[in-house]
Amino acid sequence: STDQCEWVVGSAEELPFESNSFDAYTISFGIRNVTNINKALEEANRVLVRGGRFMCLEFSHVPNSLLRRVYDEYSFQVIPVLGEVIASDYDSYQYLVESIRRFPKQEQFVQMIETAGFSCVTYRNLSGGIAAIHSGYKL
């Protein structure tokens, strides 16, 4: 139940928790916006107990060249326009598309997670690579 949850506002790069405190660490569509992704990954590792699992759901890169072309056209030509029409905010939706393209590709993100101290790191593409779930363990 939610009465057992405590909501905390903090930086992913400097988590306000003791080391070895959590069995799992999840982040969805957020690590892409962290200033120092490597520091955030190290912090995730620090707060996990041995055997703890890290999972990250994030927009990713489409490996299929045909799907990638279609997705790029949609992303750059449609998403910012929809942002303007629906939310009167073209710039934020343009930033969204650009930040997705700047995020590391799946294999590079695997290496970053491993460098932060995680083992058994894998990823699974969703929707042809539009998003991906990365997973690793603190062993």
The Cα-based distances of 18 to 1, 5, 41, 117, 127 in angstroms read 24, 17, 15, 17, 36
* pLDDT tens digits along 11-52: 999 999 999 999 999 999 999 999 999 999 999 999 999 999
Helices 90-102, 65-77: axis angle to 10 degrees equals: 150
Report d(CA 111, CA 106) in Å as an integer.
9
Residue 1 has pLDDT above 80, yes or no: no
Between CA 126 and CA 63 the distance in angstroms is 11
What is the rounded CA–CA span in Å between residue 137 and residue 122? 10
Distance of alpha carbon 44 from alpha carbon 13, whole angstroms: 9
Rounded Cα–Cα distance for residues 59 and 129 (Å): 8
**pLDDT tens digits along 67-116:** 999 999 999 999 999 999 999 999 999 999 999 999 999 999 999 999 99
d(CA 13, CA 9): 12
